[in-house]
Amino acid sequence: MVSATHSKSVLLLRTHYVDAALEAMADRYQRESGLDLVVVVDESAGAVNVPARFRKIGLNRAMVASAGLINLDQWGWQCGDYFLILAQQILTAYEYFWMVEPDVLIHYADLSAFFGLFAEDESDLWTARLGHYGNDWFWYPAMQNFSPGPVGGCFYPVLRGSTRLIHALATARRAMRAQMGLADENGVVQIDPKLYPNDEAITATIALAAPFVANDFSRRGVACGPESYGLGEPFSATALAQRKPDGRLYHPVLSAARLEARIGK
């Protein structure tokens, strides 16, 4: 029997491109996760073709501005919470939103084993590396500009957020827009990153305060330490596919084609 929480959850595959590797990943999520899958695409640079077998939501700058968010020049990189905010406005039937980036490997034999760990849980946030961060963190000053209390941080490539948390994120982002004097500015805006917080800072800071409930993946026994899940040198998707599934999260993971393109630069 599928739990009520699981049945009210959707899986967003966040991307700005589609290639053969991403299609294979989306097929696997659709086949094994037990969740409805939606490919959410940043189309700021133009339309992205998504195969018809996947539901698609294309996001653009007009949608960002109409939602009351700062139309940041690099929002697709810096503001992953925008994907959650805009998708939730369309997918109103869901109460929980998983979001996964395309360079992540959830290295389980069957993805249902991973997502099933959270199927009965009603926490507002599940993510990795969750906690209060100090002033040595890059995003600390930007978040302090808007939230003088403790600053939270996390790691964003895989997470699950509740609708009520996403609503709070949207409210906070709109308040930031007003505070910066940009309430009537819909054009593309450039802001020093030290002045405008990223997704990890705003999401964790809000989620770690009442009335929200936030948890780290490690509480469910998920292996997501920096040795496999971080910002270091990329892992080969081909090499990982030859290893026995180990219950770890891996990031960044690149296909052979993307590794070759990276090496060739």
Predicted confidence (pLDDT) per residue in 5-29, tens digit: 667 999 999 999 999 999 999 999 9
Per DSSP, 250 falls in state E
The set of residues, in sequence order, having a beta carbon less than 8 Å from that of 230 and lying 6+ positions away, is: 155, 251
**Cα separation, 102 vs 172, whole angstroms:** 27
Neighbours of 204 (CB within 10 A): 28
Q: What domains lie within the chain, and their CATH numbers?
A: 4-222 (3.90.550)
Q: What is the pLDDT of residues 57-87, one digit of tens each?
A: 999 999 999 999 999 999 999 999 999 999 9
Q: What is the pLDDT of residue 4?
A: 64
**What single letter denotes the amino acid at residue 263?**
I
Q: What is the pLDDT of residues 216-239, one digit of tens each?
A: 999 999 999 999 999 989 999 999
Residue 24 phi, psi (nearest 5): -65, -40
Residues 67, 83 contacting (CB under 8 angstroms) = no
Taking 70 as the threshold, does the pLDDT of residue 264 lie above it?
A: no
**pTM for the model:** 0.95
Place of tokens 């180990």: 246
Per the structure block, which two tokens stand in for 247? 């219950």
Band the pLDDT of 50: cuts 50, 70, 90.
Answer: very high
Query: Would you mind telling me the total number of residues written for the chain in this entry?
Result: 265
